[in-house]
Structure 1
Amino acid sequence: MARLTGISRNMSAFLDMIAISELGVALIRESDDGYNVLVGSTAAKPLLFRSYATHPDVYNRALNSDAAGAYQFMARYWPYYRDRLGLADFGPVSQDRWAIEMIRECGAVAAIEAGRITQAIGLCKSRWASLPGAGYGQHEHTAGYLVAAYQGAGGVMA
C-alpha cells in the first residue's frame, strides 16, 4: 500500500494501518490502494477521483468534509503541506510524504521506529479521526484492531 520508497518497514506498516483505519480494507481494494478515495466512500459505493494533479477538494455536504486520499486529508491543509514539502501533486508518494510529516509533527516517529505502536497511535490521534481517543465524533477503532492491522502490514512490535 504505502508507495514511498526508502522508509522503514515500521513506518510503511504504520502508514498502511492509518489507511486501513480511515478507509477499511475492502475500500482500499476497490480503489488505487485508497489514494484516490473521497470521503463518504464505501466498498459497495466507492467515490473516487481521477486526477492526482492536486487535492480534489470535493465537498461532501452530508459529512461536512472534503477529505480525500488514503489518509483522508482535508483540502484546506493542502496548500500548506504542498509548499512546505515541495509536493508536485496529490499522488500516492506525495500523500505518503504528507502523512509522515504529520506523524513527525505529532512526535511519533521514534515510537514507530522502536515498535511502540500503541504509543504512536496515541500521539497521532489528534490527526486522524478513526484513531482511538480522537474525539471527533466519528467511528474510532480499538488499539487492538490497529495493532493487528499494523502487524498484518509487516510492522514489528517492541
Structure 2
Amino acid sequence: MADIDTPNIRAFLDTIAVSELGRALLAKSDNGYNVLVGSTPAAPMLFGSYADHPRRLIQIRPGLASTAAGRYQLLARWYDPYRKLLGLRDFSPASQDRIAVQQIRERLALPLIAAGRFDEAVARVRNIWASLPGAGYGQNEHSLDYLRDVYLKAGGVLA
C-alpha cells in the first residue's frame, strides 16, 4: 500500500506500536500484530490466528475492560466497519497497517506526517490511541519528547 511505503508514515506507525505496546512486547510477539490488550513483556498474551479480530474482552483492572488487539490495539467494534470500508479479508499485519493508516487519514494527519510535522500529527490522532500525550483516557500516556525520539530512530524525518 503506497501510504505506508514512505519513511515518515512507516516511522509513525512504528511509533504508535512502541507507544501502545512497548519495545519489549514488540520483540516478544509478531512485531505486535498478535498482541492482546493487557499483555506485558513478562506475560505476553498472544492470539494465534489472523483470520479475524480475536474479539476477546479482557479485564484490565476493575472498571476497565477492552477488546483491543494487534499492533495498534484496535477495538473489536471498529474492526468490522474498517474491514468493510477497506475490503479486508482478515486481521493480518497488512490489514492492521491499512486500518491504522485509514484512521490517521480520517484525522487528516497523513499530510502532516508526510511533511514531517510530527507534533501536529500526534495531536490530530491522540483521540485514537490512549498512550499518546493528551489522549485523556486515564491510561499511561508517553511524552511527546519520548515519542519524537522513537519516530526519529525509526527513520522518520521532521520538518
Task: Give the CA deviation at 1:100.
Answer: 0.2
Give the match for residue 127 of structure 2. 126
Name the structure with the higher strand share: 2
Point out where structure 2 has 5 or more consecutive residues left out of the alignment: none
> Does 2:61 align with 1:60?
no
CA displacement, residues 57-95 of structure 1 (integer Å, 9 cap, x when unaligned): 111123410100000000011110000001111010000
Give the match for residue 47 of structure 1. 45
Q: Distance in 1 between matches of 2:67 and 2:126?
A: 19
Task: Give the CA deviation at 1:123.
Answer: 0.4
CA displacement, residues 121-140 of structure 1 (integer Å, 9 cap, x when unaligned): 00000100000000001000
Letter in 1 for 2:45: L
Which structure 1 residue ranges, 4+ long, deviate > 3 Å from structure 2? none
Residue 11 (structure 2) aligned to one of 10, 13, 26: 13
Task: Give the CA deviation at 1:7.
Answer: 1.8
CA displacement, residues 43-66 of structure 1 (integer Å, 9 cap, x when unaligned): 110000000000001111234101
The 5 A counterparts of 1:3-152 are: 7-62=5-60, 63-152=64-153
Q: Distance in 2 between matches of 1:7 and 1:111?
A: 16
Letter in 2 for 1:138: Q
SS of residue paired to 2:65: coil
Superposition RMSD in Å: 1.0
Q: Distance in 2 between matches of 1:103 and 1:7?
A: 15
Letter in 1 for 2:144: A
Identity across matched positions, percent? 55
Q: Distance in 1 between matches of 2:74 and 2:85?
A: 15
TM-score (norm 1): 0.96
Aligned length: 155
CA displacement, residues 91-147 of structure 1 (integer Å, 9 cap, x when unaligned): 100000000000000110011000010110000001000000000010000000100
Point out where structure 1 has 5 or more consecutive residues left out of the alignment: none
